Amino acid sequence: MFTTGRIIFAIVFVLAFAVLLTWSYRKEWKTLAHHFPKPWKVLLAIFFFIFILFLIVKIKKLT
């Protein structure tokens, strides 16, 4: 299904993407902190929304 070349490419791609994403985020940390003072609230709301959807699906399967 997956050749060795594809697996190596996927690993290198994910690692490079994560490194570049982290580097870019750290580069703009001060700007982001100024424009978005409390980003944890948004993250909490997203997790809450996903949890509610998960509960709806589980309840629907029980009935």
Return per-residue pLDDT of the chain as tens, 63 residues.
889 999 999 999 999 999 999 999 888 887 877 887 888 888 899 999 999 999 999 999 887
* C-alpha separations of 58 from 19, 51, 52, 63 in Å: 37, 11, 10, 9
Task: List the beta strands (DSSP E) in 12-60.
Answer: none
Residue bearing tokens 């940390």: 29
pTM: 0.50
Q: How many domains in the chain?
A: 1
CA angle 21, 27, 30 (to 5 degrees): 125
What's the pLDDT score for residue 62?
A: 85
What's the pLDDT score for residue 44?
A: 95
DSSP 6-17: HHHHHHHHHHHH
What's the pLDDT score for residue 40?
A: 84
* Parent domain of 10: 4-62
